[in-house]
């Protein structure tokens, strides 16, 4: 009689341990996958690049480009200085966007899936009106960084 109880108790404990390990494993795998996906987001060197780019663009009327659109794609055509293409190339920028803070829904089909994932990962603090988002192409991978832009209203 005692052997049957010990066997049943062992099976219950093994089942409990296996379920616990399975839950722990799935949590770890999800955390690892999220970290791998987000590894190209907001790298310190890219944030510094965005900060200096924002300061430079503020000298060239970045504020004039702010309007009621949710996402504004910027190019050298938006600025009136001749060194814009060389500046964009030296920073390894693939695309440059102005994105409205608090953006919940937008036409995501117009943009790449990596850009959409980055936008969805951002917090939506209301301290700024827009954020300047840079898309960097580094080693055939897209990396993103952003910095807040205040409108002059």
pLDDT, tens digit (0-9, with 9 covering 90-100), for 16-28:
999 999 999 999 9
Q: 27-36 pLDDT, tens per residue?
A: 999 998 878 7
pTM (2 decimals)? 0.72
- Choice between 26 and 57, residue whose per-residue pLDDT is larger: 26
- Choice between 128 and 11, residue whose per-residue pLDDT is larger: 11
What local confidence, expressed as pLDDT, does residue 29 receive?
Answer: 93
Q: What value does the mean pLDDT take over residues 89-108?
A: 84
Asked whether the beta carbons of 59 and 101 are under 8 A apart, the reply is no
Beta-bridge mates of residue 98: 72, 132
Residue 153, pLDDT above cutoff 50: no
| Distance (Å, whole) CA 126 – CA 120 | 16
Asked whether the beta carbons of 106 and 71 are under 8 A apart, the reply is yes
């Amino acid at each position: 009689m005692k052997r049957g109880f010990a066997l049943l108790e062992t099976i219950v404990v093994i089942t409990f341990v296996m379920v616990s390990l399975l839950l722990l494993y799935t949590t770890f795998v999800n955390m690892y996958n999220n970290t791998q996906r987000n590894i190209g987001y907001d790298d310190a060197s890219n944030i510094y690049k965005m900060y200096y780019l924002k300061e430079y663009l503020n000298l060239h009327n970045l504020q004039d480009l702010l309007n009621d659109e949710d996402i504004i794609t910027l190019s050298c055509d938006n600025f009136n200085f001749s060194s814009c293409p060389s500046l964009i190339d030296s920073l390894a920028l693939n695309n440059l966007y102005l994105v409205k803070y608090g953006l919940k829904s937008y036409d995501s089909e117009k943009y790449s899936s990596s850009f959409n994932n980055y936008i969805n990962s951002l917090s939506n603090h209301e301290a700024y009106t827009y954020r300047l988002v840079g898309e960097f192409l580094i080693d055939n991978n897209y990396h993103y960084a952003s910095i807040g832009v205040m409108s002059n209203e």
